[in-house]
Amino acid sequence: MPSGVGTLEYLVEVAKDWAVARFADAQTSDFALEPHRFELRGAAVRRYPVSPDSLEGRSPFDAVTWARRATAWAHNAVLTLIADGEIGTDHYEQEVVEILAMENTDVVAECAYVVRIDGVPPCLGPFWS
């Protein structure tokens, strides 16, 4: 497969499919997606677990500033969202699954909201970029 944005988009789709399948298999409300790295090796995509405590596991782009080989990461993140309302500005935290991909200077990023309800396994919403 040639390198470039098309390759990154392919890796992103593989990572998204894997993340969706992991959430579909979730059995408990405390399920958390373990971070993984996806690399294109010839015609195959290889998936590698990444330690959640490592910098790569928490924030891949802070750990890897340049990827020679097309690489994608899937991991949980918590975003702080700011919303203006009638009584002022409010902020809240939202759990998301990020899919980040990089090769040389090309970058692709997508995320999906995680919905949690007590006593029910979490649901993963649709991905968006």
How confident is the prediction along the chain (129 residues), in pLDDT tens digits per residue?
455 557 889 999 999 999 999 999 999 999 999 999 999 888 889 999 999 999 999 889 888 877 778 899 999 999 998 989 888 898 889 999 999 999 888 899 999 999 999 999 999 999 998
Q: Where are the domains of the chain?
A: 5-124
Give the per-residue pLDDT at 64.
82
pLDDT of residue 5: 55
Q: Which amino acid is at 95?
A: E
Dist. CA 43–CA 27, nearest whole Å: 33
Question: Tokens standing for 16?
Answer: 């998204």
CA torsion, points 31, 112, 22, 5, in degrees to nearest 10? -140
pLDDT at 63: 82
| pLDDT value at residue 1 | 46
Is-contact 72 38, C-beta < 8 A? Answer: yes
